[in-house]
Chains A and B, each alone.
Chain A
């Protein structure tokens, strides 16, 4: 029973006192930023990355992972009480969750959201544990050729399944790949596009890029819109949902978990796509679809379960194959690399405590979140009373300090400023910055594997289609691209992502 051995190994890592503390820190920070609209997990993780240098790799990843799934919990609190999604993944929760709150049922709505999330988180932890082994075994057969094709698949799929125009996102991936080539070329030792700046010789650090584009640019854009924020002011009594509530919510919870787990594994998945899909499904299977949008409890349970399951299972490609499913996972790859661990299939066999420790910590973290969120919900709600005019200068400052802290260089702060301006430009022209981050993080690996593969094949590109695994991977890319050209698929995708 290798699975149980692994889970036990993971639990023994996750239950170490210091790891429990880091997990708690992660989920508390995650809940806080989840509750607060206007700051998401990406800049937060980027901000904290430099301070994880000194930690053991497992502790660092446990904390950073906690921020990610903690944010999904916190996001739903804001969605239900304020009708503003704390995170993109909780957009759907606004629909029925806030409606329940308006009808005086904020307590049960919050409780169902938390219980669904916990249920989904627990199931997803098991899913990760079960799926990781065969995937990692498959990945060990990979050479540079297969790895290159896999990276291509990861990048393309992430673009196609995510928000926004496919063409623009693809362009952003290439832009990311391009700035990923800045720095000293590992093979020849020649500096490329460093413009004589010594700080660039190790390449562009992705932390300032992420903080500039996701943190600061977002703030600048937010400040242009007038702030509206109304908290539903009602006493949060009766947190415990009635038996009828639970009976109605449970099947939705299970369906949401299944959808979330499946979609989370896909590149481009993660926390945003699953809740929309789950909501659509709940509406379809309901006996009386007209209740939706008017406070149907299934409309809270399904999407909440889906977004948590998705957030967690999006770790599967990262932990087993070393490819990130979304921009946040790209940051996790960065965290691994900062710890001196080359992400890839070998991590599972070389660092089992790390991988299984992180997986097991998700369960302990979910348990903590349940406790943090339900009895303490009042505390989080009071955080919403901090006005944005005070919040944003503090975020700007923390971004500055965090960026400076990566290598104690003011250059990185200037770089972040540049990225903020470019990121603001991207927002204005309606382009998503996430694919760029994926390209930037994966760029060096992609180039490395591409060059090695071409060297082995003596410059013959047909090697990518004559080796079976690689051919299948690239075929999937081709099918996805062709499908995007078909108007029917395009329309469905638009509808699925727009909502």
Chain B
């Protein structure tokens, strides 16, 4: 993922500008079938379109500034933290309804721990069991979150 630092552009501005342009374009596409209306009688699409146009202007401004000003790189993206944390959240979302809180919690802790290079295997297992028990007690027993604890 080091690619982005290679050329001599102002990458932070360029990427942020690009992001805004995509967001604005997406909005204009998503609201294409809605009524815009007039200023005195606005339809549902009036505000989203107006805001999208402003964002488009901001996006172009940053993108141009990014191309003209440089070079500014971006700190290297490390895959391990983002994948570990991302996978933990994803697995939790998949397991919470079918697998119950205990299983989802334990899995989330184990996978999240992968995100850090400093994690130790047995420590994480023990810690995961402890936190899972605490989470079940706190959220289901004490705070009465309506979710099943076990898969069955």
Contacts and interface: CB of A to CB of B under 8 A. Distances in A.
B148 to A, nearest CB: 11
Interface string B25-55: 0010011001100111111111110011011
Contact of B52 (A178, A414, A417): A178
Contacts of A431: 16
B60 to A, nearest CB: 11
A346 to B, nearest CB: 24
B47 A223 contact: no
Contacts of B139: 401, 405
Given A401-B139, A404-B96, A405-B145, A393 B58 contact: no
A171 B24 CA distance: 11
Contacts of A458: 40
Q: Is the interface of B mostly helix, strand, loop or mixed?
A: helix
A420 B48 contact: no
B103 interface: no
A223 B81 contact: yes
B82 A421 contact: yes
A221 B82 CA distance: 8
Contacts, number: 192
Contacts of B86: 417, 420-421
A387 B118 contact: yes
A428 B89 contact: no
Nearest to A181: B48
Contact of A195 (B30, B58, B115): B30
Given A413-B89, A429-B15, A458-B40, A181 B146 contact: no
Contact of B40 (A410, A420, A455): A455
B114 to A, nearest CB: 9
B92 A400 contact: yes
B127 interface: yes
Contacts of B115: 220, 223, 392-393
Interface string A166-188: 01101100110110010001011
25 contacts: A167-B61, A171-B59, A174-B51, A177-B51, A178-B23, A181-B51, A223-B78, A223-B85, A223-B115, A387-B118, A389-B113, A392-B115, A393-B113, A393-B115, A393-B124, A400-B96, A405-B143, A405-B145, A414-B93, A424-B82, A425-B15, A428-B74, A429-B13, A455-B41, A458-B40
Interface of B: 11-13, 15-16, 19-20, 23, 27, 30-31, 34-35, 38-48, 51-52, 54-55, 58-59, 61-62, 74-75, 77-78, 80-82, 84-86, 88-90, 92-94, 96-97, 101, 104-105, 108-109, 112-113, 115-116, 118-120, 123-124, 127-128, 131, 135, 139, 143-147
